[in-house]
Amino acid sequence: MFSGDPQGSTLVDEGTRGAHRASMNFEQLFSQNLIRSAKKKPFDTQELPSHGGVYAFFDERGAILQLSSAENLRRAVTFRLYPSDDPTKRPRTDLLAITCQVWWQPTRSQFETFLKFHEIAYHLYPGRHRKMCAFGPSWFAGITLNDQFPRWLAGNDPFAGESACVGPFATRRKCEEFVKQIEDLFSLCRYHNILEQTPRGEACAYFEMDRCPAPCDGTIPFDQYRETLAGSVDFVLGAKEPLRLRLRRQMKEASDDLDFERANRAKQDLDTADALATMLARVHRRVGDFRYLIIQRAGGRTKVKAFVVNQGDIQHTEPAKLKELTDVAPQWLARAVQAARLAKVDSTFAAERIWLVSHFLQKRDRTPGLYIHHSELPDALGLADLIRRTFSPKPKTGPPSV
């Protein structure tokens, strides 16, 4: 388990240890280490910094014993290796007796700690790392029009929808609710198992309610239904007026025919379309739009660093002092606005990086730092000013001097 609390950790049992041997180059994952000495106190934990980071204990064979993170590395490692004697507490594994090396990677913000912990856990615990991280999956509604039987689907893979991929949604329920609204607005098929029988399917109750054109039984050609699906994608990607004009026309025709029930239904659909258009302006509609410049503290109160997010790829800059922003802001901005071609990376890892960033986006009002979408980036001077206003030490307030 990941935790900012020093007590949050993962301990590997004896049967699992053999899978994590010294073949791993720890220097690729960590930057510093302590090696057991013959002194009375085998590890001088005073050598560790008192700020945050990710740390791991390894035995004499190079097998990992424990991986964890903390806001204060020195205190956390000391607590683990030299616990206080308290007979009222449950006995702990004697890590000091079996630990030969302590490796750690310093971090300077909660975002950086999450990022580094995920990277290290992904390599040290392949297949198991996801349960160890403090962020869960994000949800996306995607569609690929070139599929044999296209449909909007709710899922965790931000790369699944080639034509459109809407998200992130914080919960599965909200994502599925969005899919249902799109199906209602465009009268799409709700029963995919019947759609797959086209043209030998049997029309369902939605056809009787005039809420599905029944491509499944050949009432309309499937190519025509695919055009309707394409219209739903166009709406999601920003073309709002075609749907609104159609609904207004339906509302007027129904009113002229004194069919007030149908007119009211069209009015409700129009309200739903307007609400969805507002919501869609706040989320991503293609995975290629998932691009951010994230600014976090980098030590003390005068240093910051930037993280450039391009879909599942996250690169970071060297720390810079606030007084240096005039010089470095143009460089950060140039990196953020360029949609760099993604390096070859495991799609699972890339998707999880998007989940991680989404975790912070969904609570950005309560999390220190700046999270700027690439479409909202100011110019270099504006960026430097925004960072200074966000991170500059606030003046101390107190009673007026006499």
363-387 pLDDT, tens digit each:
888 888 999 999 999 999 999 999 9
What Å distances lie between residue 147 and 16, 62, 152, 212, CA to CA? 42, 48, 11, 20
| Apex 343 CA angle, 338 and 347, nearest 5 | 115
Q: Which of 232 and 89 is assigned the larger pLDDT?
A: 232
pLDDT of amino acid 366: 82
Over residues 13-63, the pLDDT tens digits come to: 433 443 444 445 788 899 999 999 888 889 999 999 999 999 999 999 989
Q: What's the rounded Cα separation, in Å, for the pair 41 and 240?
A: 69
CATH topology of domain 9-84+92-132: GIY-YIG endonuclease (3.40.1440)
pLDDT of amino acid 4: 37
| SS3 state at 293 | strand
Q: What's the rounded Cα separation, in Å, for the pair 144 and 160?
A: 8
Domain ranges of the chain: 9-84+92-132, 139-280, 290-391
Over residues 192-233, the pLDDT tens digits come to: 999 999 999 999 999 988 889 999 999 999 999 999 999 999
The percent of residues above 70 in pLDDT, for the chain, comes to 89
